Amino acid sequence: MDRAVAIFSGGMDSSSLVYMLKQDYGELIMLSFDYGQRHKKEITSAKKLAGYLEENPTGAYTEHRVVNLRTITSMLKGSALTDDVDVPDGHYSEEAARITVVPNRNMIMLGVATAVAVAEEADALYTGVHAGDHFIYPDCRPEFMHHINLAAQAGNESFAKRGFRIEAPFLHMEKSEIAKVGARYGVPWEDTWSCYKGGAIHCGTCPTCVERQEAFYIAGVTDKTKYADAEYWKTVTTVPGVR
């Protein structure tokens, strides 16, 4: 039976990914990483959505695991995602990225997820990285994905299932296109989590909240998510026709 492993953060992109994969595979193992992120609500979201998928009898048999990376990331200081640095408002920028980045995070997560995929004899490992992340995060770019896939294949030769590969089906999509995919597969957006600030509800003003609201607007997808400030993104967006 076809088996996939997917990295699942509980955000828009990876939620769309696992809802899609549930229809494509016989078995699906979803991995969430606890790296001490301040927006730990994304793990709560991941658990909630994983519960929906597990209860749903159609499509893949699903399983959800949370991987504890805190002992590792506690060594790696200087990131607003894990430390007490303020998360900036507005759009992503080089400066914002520098303080919101955990160094080499994708390689670490893909390394662990590849190990799980090899041990489980999975056909493929999926990640929801996408085009919108490229200019900020170098480990979401096609060049990185190309080499890490070849490294994973070379490094597990004769141990991994034949034909094993790392897939990033959203790599060349915009976030609004992913929103359309997720909507098609019935992702309950209000149960996903994107906000970097980790409050009770989405702040609406941090870079990822701005990007999220733009994506739904462009895609024409209904979003029932509650935002502390649901109007701010319209004052900073460059999407035509909003302002």
Helical (H) or strand (E) element with 125: strand 124-126
Which of 28, 108, 173, 178 touches its own copies (CB under 8 A)? 108
Interface region with its own copies, contact rule CB under 8 A, candidates 8-16, 54-62, 96-104, 231-239: 96-104
> 83 or 191: whose CB is closer to its own copies?
83
Residue 196 φ/ψ, nearest 5 degrees: -80, -10
The distance of closest approach from Cβ of residue 103 to its own copies in the complex, given in angstroms and rounded to an integer, is: 4
> 65 or 180: whose CB is closer to its own copies?
65
238 lies in the binding site for its own copies (CB under 8 A): no
98 lies in the binding site for its own copies (CB under 8 A): yes
190 beta partners: none
172 lies in the binding site for its own copies (CB under 8 A): no
> 147 or 172: whose CB is closer to its own copies?
147
Which of 59, 90, 111, 198 touches its own copies (CB under 8 A)? 111
231 lies in the binding site for its own copies (CB under 8 A): no
Distance (Å, whole) CA 34 – CA 56? 25
For the segment 37-66, give every residue that binds its own copies (CB under 8 A): 65
Distance (Å, whole) CA 71 – CA 42? 19
Distance (Å, whole) CA 67 – CA 109? 9
Which of 71, 95, 224, 238 touches its own copies (CB under 8 A)? 71
For the segment 128-157, give every residue that binds its own copies (CB under 8 A): 138-139, 141, 143-144, 147-148, 150-152, 154-157
Task: Using DSSP, state whether 79 is helix, strand or coil.
Answer: coil
Alpha-carbon distances, residue 45 vs 15, 147, 156, 209 (angstroms): 9, 31, 32, 15
* Residues lying near its own copies in the complex (CB under 8 A): 65, 67-72, 75-78, 98, 101-108, 110-112, 114-116, 118-119, 138-139, 141, 143-144, 147-148, 150-152, 154-159
